[in-house]
Amino acid sequence: MDKRTPLPMTPFDTLTSSGELQMVKLLLPYTPPAIQRMLAFFIKFTELQNTVRYFGVFSHTPAREEFQGSAPSFPEILEELKPYMGESSETVDSILSAMSMMEMMKDMDLSGMSSPDPSASGGGNMEDILNMMHMFQSPPSGGDTREDTEDGNDLNRKEMNDNGAGMDGSSGNETY
């Protein structure tokens, strides 16, 4: 079997499984192939029995309340799923970060709306904030399209006249 980091047990698994059953699961790959099938069915059947017993499916007892709590928020659900997602958990982190930023900006917008004077709230206009963020994320616009080399010289060299000086009299080796 390949060596992977084991996934943590889900809350449901902890309710329907036991330590002994987990040991049998761990030993399953080391048993003879003829026994593996029977042992796998035994493990799953035992878990099903424990589930039926726990929830009282065939009895008239009320349902357990462990799974009937208040509805969690979407970020809470994502946080619960992260340990089981492997490499995809980085994507979940990005989503959570974006959601947090959106919530923060929404809060800033609401606090800016409470005062007619944008400077009084300290937050300013939401559109101005978004424009400022966009300005810092986009490449600079304008005529400065130089690309510097490792030695600091400009790749877009000035045209040189016959004596090696630029049209403006500079040598072209100045660092900016």
What percentage of the chain reaches a pLDDT higher than 70? 54
* pLDDT tens digits along 32-64: 998 999 999 999 999 999 988 888 776 665 555
pLDDT at 46: 94
* pLDDT tens digits along 150-165: 555 554 454 555 555 5
Q: Is the pTM of this model over 0.85?
A: no
Spell out a b/e string for 109-130, using b for 16 or more CB atoms within 10 Å of the CB, else e: beebeeeeeeeebebeebeeee
pLDDT at 35: 93
3-state secondary structure 67-92: CCCCCCCHHHHHHHHHHHCHHHHHHH
Cα first-last separation, the chain = 60
Contact (Cβ atoms closer than 8 angstroms) between residue 146 and residue 156 = yes
